[in-house]
Amino acid sequence: MFVMDNRKFVLESFDSEDELEQVVISNAEHIFGPSSIYLPKSLIRTVDGAGTIPDGYAIDLEGKCWYLVEAEISKHSVWSHIAPQVAKQIIAANNPATKLKLIDTVINRVRDDESLQEKFADQNIDPIDYRHVLGEIIASNPIIGMPIDSVKNDLREWAATLKVDVRLWIVQKYVEFNNPTNIAYKIPDEFSPIMTTQTVEDPVIDRSTYNVTISDLLDEGFIEYGQKFQMPYKPRNGEQKVYYAEVLEDGSLDVLGRKFSALSYAALFGIQDSGSTRTSVNGWHVWKLEDGRTLNEIRENYLEHINPDS
């Protein structure tokens, strides 16, 4: 339950899979990452012509990976609904004609969409290289990206058997107790799936990477209280500014006098202060130490420290 003033919001089931799909479309950057490009559902076919329609596709320029998106509600059967549907989608996604279609779709969209052009620019990708970079990403196997309202054991065990990576995100619906027309949706912080399977032999609940906090880095001495991170940022057609985040004793960050517990929202606050209209950013990648290392690099060092044999 969430409480706001005297208003209570209670957990409730999605009315339909379509409702969940719309939440995913509206918040795709907050699920698949700020450098992701989301494409709506469209028909794809296997080499032999069998058709299937995933709920969408997401291409992550920064992560250099792409997703077949299948939004699901947990009441659907894994064995009669999810498994056969995803199996056909994987086969169709690896059809060269499907991959070419997705690349062409992005190229056609980016010509007239400044927000998409900015995503490429943020990754230092010149327009002449758009198709080449997309081709390299799409050449890899897709990740099954599955936003879902809850995760059951059968789904976990089935996902672990697949030869492709499966990532599950929890998305939940909350309704005001005495006003059912007032609805809020809960999506993951910091683009964090609840589960990811890396290989057939080594399925993991990937808490190690996604649940690392600034407090963890403080406790192990990888950063210090009072230390300042910096983030240079130049909005389109604007002047470059440098923003600073001071580490507070409770593991939160002070940016321009505002306190944040999440790196990404701390970064977004600075970016929007610069005049940018961006709505998402990966704070682990944009905040840097004075020596130029990103917080993501520090996180990787921390993980190697606590898991020396992994």
Last residue of a domain, one of 206, 237, 258: 206
At 198, is the pLDDT very low, low, confident or very high (cuts 50, 70, 90)?
low
Ramachandran bin of 23, using left for φ above 0, alpha for ψ from -120 to 50, beta for the remaining angles = alpha
Cα 168 versus chain centre, distance: 11
The model's pLDDT over 49-84, given as tens digits with 9 standing for 90+, comes to 999 999 999 999 988 999 999 999 999 999 999 999
Number of domains in the chain: 2
Q: Which domain holds residue 236?
A: 214-306
- Three-state secondary-structure class, residue 244: strand
The greatest distance separating any two alpha carbons of the chain, rounded to the nearest whole angstrom, comes to 61
Q: What is the DSSP string of 62-92?
A: TTTEEEEE--B-TTS-IIIIIHHHHHHHHHH
174 and 66 both lie in a single domain:
yes
Torsion angles phi and psi, residue 56, rounded to 5: 170, -175
At 203, is the pLDDT very low, low, confident or very high (cuts 50, 70, 90)?
very low
17 and 166 both lie in a single domain:
yes
225 and 200 both lie in a single domain:
no
The model's pLDDT over 4-16, given as tens digits with 9 standing for 90+, comes to 888 999 999 999 9
Question: Which has the closest alpha carbon to 66: 175, 144, 7, 149?
Answer: 144
43 and 177 both lie in a single domain:
yes
Task: Tell how many helices (H) and how many strands (E) occur in the chain.
Answer: 12, 17
